[in-house]
Amino acid sequence: MSLIVKPISGMLTKDTDLFGKMDPYVVCKIGNEQKRTKTNKGGGKKPQWMDTLTFMSKGSIMSVSVYDDDFGKD
């Protein structure tokens, strides 16, 4: 059995880029399995994603985090 997660959009409260817009991506983790979306280049504080993340883990807790893709800085 698998779990399918589809991050659609975000409404971020803080802009971490001084110049330009943030490039957000989502990281979801269930048990020992971790997946991430593609980076939404220039998505800013209202990013959108069209990714499908499929998990095979049987964990009961999922963590969801959003990061700014700035050449290795999170």
Averaged pLDDT for residues 7-27? 90
Please state, rounded to an integer, the average pLDDT across all residues of the chain.
90
| Of 36, 74, 30, the residue nearest 56 (C-alpha) | 30
CATH T-level fold of 3-12+20-68: Immunoglobulin-like (2.60.40)
How many CA atoms within 13 Å lie on the side-chain side of 63?
8
Averaged pLDDT for residues 8-12? 95
Residue 55 pLDDT > 90, yes or no?
yes
Q: What confidence tier does 71 reach under pLDDT thresholds 50, 70, 90?
A: low
H or E, element range at 68? strand 62-68
Total residue length of the chain? 74
pTM attached to this predicted model: 0.86
Token couple for 2: 């698998």
Higher-scoring residue by pLDDT: 15, 24:
24
